[in-house]
Amino acid sequence: MRTPKIAFVFTAAMLLATVAFAAAAKPAPVLLTADQKQVETLAKSLLNEPAIKAARAAAIKQYEAAPAWQLDDGKKTLQGIIDETLYGVLLSVASDPADPKIVWTEVLPYTYRKQRLTGSRYAGDSPDRAYRGITIDPTYRYEIRGKLNAKPPLYISIESLPRPAFWGLPPLASIFSKDIDFAADGTFKIEVDSTPTDGRRNHLQMPPGSAMLLLRDTIPDWGNQLPNTLSIKRVDDAAAKPRSRDDMIRQAVALMDEAVTASLKYFDGIWARKTNQLDVFVRPLGWGVLAVNRFSLQDDEALVITLDPQSAQYLSLQVMDPWLRAPLYAKRTISLNDRLAKANADGSFTYVLSPKDPGVYNWLDTGDLHDGIMVVRWELLSKPAVPSEAVREVRKIALTEVASSVPAEVTRVTPAQRRQQLAERQAAYETRVR
């Protein structure tokens, strides 16, 4: 009679050991880390502070004076850009420079394993990038450690940014993959301090005025390229500067005002350009070539756009709302890069941008947006760019003319094939948060 009991105890022990081993063997999440949860909890707790609510109301009034507010789509998307910009600001102030945290930001709202991610999309966020921010202070010294995953991103970059960060202000210092030595197993270490780099590898300077490090993993091959594993710690003996909740609230209010002011200046530059065309310019600091213009279409209209990749190792075209926030992109083709789009025989790419499905694979889905912004990025060019040749065509036509107007070689899709494309896109995006 005792043998079954012993067997049961042994089996139960083995089961518990197996479960424990499986939990231990499960890889730690790359983006949804314990630090992320801690910072988000604090950021969310600040949302109901009276001063934060007042800053939000002030931002709405500032944006209502902008040209985008005159558009129906500007009115429709205003609350979204205000709330997500504010949350991005709160993520920044909720991270203490004396106890640094790497925070996933400029991200879609998303629910994963009962954890709700609040959206923080703003400032031209790209669906092909995992953005992470670290609030810093140049009086401290830091050490960033990382590991390239088995299927690494195209390239990584880290920038020292001034306040309010993100909004078009040039970085004070930068480091790219080419400036980093990686070990054979893909691990790396980067020293971050206030001293000049002076040609040192694996070193990033924080010049005076640095307030944040922005880390970008560019991952155009969704599902097959994963963000890097990253960590940071302080490596100095300086006394930590005290910081109260009131300090964080005051900083958030100031940062929100700075972010809105900077964004309005950026919007003015976009509104000065013509609609339904692409004006190409070379970006500073070796970032390649960029085009940012408005589009304006009716339900029965489309833009046919053909791009020359030049010598870029990365090319992307995406749709944004009038406030330069990416629409929900996990389930919709609001963006397509050179890995996800179908190329023409000569290596160029022909896209159709429209509110309704035109039946071609390279569809940029504007959804319920009739007025918004389109952004093209040419990056990692191996030869000098020729901006005048980067855009071959931007032409507005009736949606009914798409089938006869685009080249025959442009890949068409059936409704079933579109559903498959979108299902694959959703599954690929979810690899980032598993």
Say if residues 255 and 163 touch (Cβ distance below 8 Å).
yes
* Domain 273-430 top-level CATH class: mainly beta
Spell out, as residue ranges, where the chain has pLDDT lower than 50: 1-25
Residue entry with tokens 């040192």 = 200
The two beta strands, 363-365 and 349-354, are: parallel
Token pair for 154:
């195209």
pLDDT at 13: 45
pLDDT at 150: 66
Distance CA 419, CA 416 (A): 5
pLDDT at 27: 59
pLDDT at 4: 46
pLDDT at 18: 42
pLDDT at 431: 87
pLDDT at 224: 87
Phi then psi dihedrals of residue 408, to 5 deg: -60, -30
Prediction pTM value: 0.91
Q: Minimal CA–CA distance to 335: which of 428, 416, 406, 408?
A: 428
Phi then psi dihedrals of residue 187, to 5 deg: -80, 155
pLDDT at 329: 96
Residue spans in the chain of domains classed CATH 2.60.120.1600: 273-430
pLDDT at 169: 78
